Amino acid sequence: MPHPEQHDRQGLTGRRILITRSADRAQPLVSLLNNLGAAPLVLPLIDFERAKDQATLDAVLDRLATGGFDWLVISSITSAKVLLEKAAERGTTPAGLVPAATRVAAIGPSSVKVLESIGLSVHLAPTERQSADGLVELWEPAPERVLLPQADIAAPGLREGLAAKGADVTSVIAYHTVDYPARAELRLRAELPDVVVLSGNGVPPTLSPAEARSALDTGTLDAVVAASPSAARRIAESLLPLGTCRLIAIGRPTAAEASRLGLTVAAVAKDPTPDGIVAALETVFANEGNPQ
């Protein structure tokens, strides 16, 4: 039986796909789309800044380093970057900041790869339902102490789901989600190892907002990919009308937010991976033929 990621790639040749991430964060998807004959472009809509309340963040990391938590839950790649940056400030590594007895959980393969690349072993992560809900489903009920560093706009579902399983959850703002670009003095400085970025095919073209608007008005963009609910909100604020461009949402929370905003979602990527996004794009374009 073929692996679910070993699907036929159809209908993507020549398709202009707009990815609403910065070039470095979009690179794995860009590489795959290039290999399939598509023409990916990027338009960064959101960015990330260090937490305003560094004292509270430092206090919980002190507690983490001294064995005060049974679990560290990393729910985004940006949270991993914060961990890397805070460890460097202390003259150590993430592995030096997280005691060996503290187990680490993540919400999907991308986060697992990132955490392993910075020296942390992941003890729990969903493989099918790769989301906060998927992690909650796997979580064994127990009164364990959990540290959950998140964005300022993180939905409460993960924190509440773990608490409902009996966990004593300490949730802390690790970073702020802002409109692109972040202020230079507040932008997260940590760079993840190259192992987490797929190589090949160069740097994708980056559009300005005006160029994206022109492409939408002339119908030369085939799809736009929203990677998060905050990206869906920025699309609604700055890119409407989409015209003939189809919206692809990564995950059910992003799709739900897009629908709430009145956006039409053409397809939902069930897995937050390049292959999952490509599978969603295929459901839209496979039967339409390639653009001329």
Predicted local confidence at residue 189, as pLDDT:
83
Is the predicted pLDDT of residue 58 greater than 90, yes or no?
Answer: yes
Q: What is the CA radius of gyration of the chain?
A: 19
Mean pLDDT for the chain? 90
Predicted local confidence at residue 292, as pLDDT:
53
Query: What does the pLDDT average to over 23-52?
Result: 91
Say whether 93 sits in a helix, a strand or coil. coil
Is the predicted pLDDT of residue 4 greater than 60, yes or no?
Answer: no
Q: What is the pLDDT of residues 118-161, one digit of tens each?
A: 999 999 999 877 788 899 999 999 999 999 999 999 989 999 99
Q: Is the peptide bond before 253 cis (omega within 30 degrees of 0)?
A: no
Q: What is the pLDDT of residues 229-270, one digit of tens each?
A: 999 999 999 999 999 999 999 988 899 999 999 999 999 998
Q: What is the pLDDT of residues 78-132, one digit of tens each?
A: 999 999 999 999 999 999 999 999 999 998 877 898 899 999 999 999 987 778 8
Predicted local confidence at residue 271, as pLDDT:
81
Residue 129, Ramachandran bin (φ over 0: left; ψ between -120 and 50: alpha; else beta): beta
Predicted local confidence at residue 108, as pLDDT:
80
* Nearest alpha carbon to residue 276 among 21, 33, 25: 33
Query: What does the pLDDT average to over 197-216?
Result: 77
* Total-model pTM: 0.83
Predicted local confidence at residue 197, as pLDDT:
42
Q: Is 90 in contact with 124 (CB distance < 8 Å)?
A: no
Query: What does the pLDDT average to over 202-211?
Result: 84
Sheet of 168-179, strands arranged across: 46-50, 168-179, 145-151, 71-74, 103-106
Contacting residues for 41 by C-beta, under 8 A, at least 6 apart: 16, 17, 18, 19, 204, 205, 206, 207, 221
Query: What does the pLDDT average to over 4-27?
Result: 77
Rounded Cα gap, residues 165 and 156, in angstroms = 14
The better pLDDT of the pair 37, 22 is held by 37
* Pair of tokens at residue 203: 């740097």
Q: Say how many CA atoms lie within 13 Å of 168 toward its Cβ.
A: 6
Count Cβ neighbours within 10 Å for each residue of 174-204 and write b for 16 or more, e otherwise.
Answer: bbbbbeeebeeebebebebeeebbeeeeeeb
Phi first, then psi: what are they for 117, rounded to 5°? Answer: -70, -25
Rounded Cα gap, residues 149 and 61, in angstroms = 10
Predicted local confidence at residue 7, as pLDDT:
44
Q: What is the pLDDT of residues 144-203, one digit of tens each?
A: 999 999 999 998 999 999 999 999 999 999 999 999 999 999 998 888 775 444 444 556
Predicted local confidence at residue 63, as pLDDT:
98
Query: What does the pLDDT average to over 207-218?
Result: 94
Query: What does the pLDDT average to over 43-58?
Result: 96
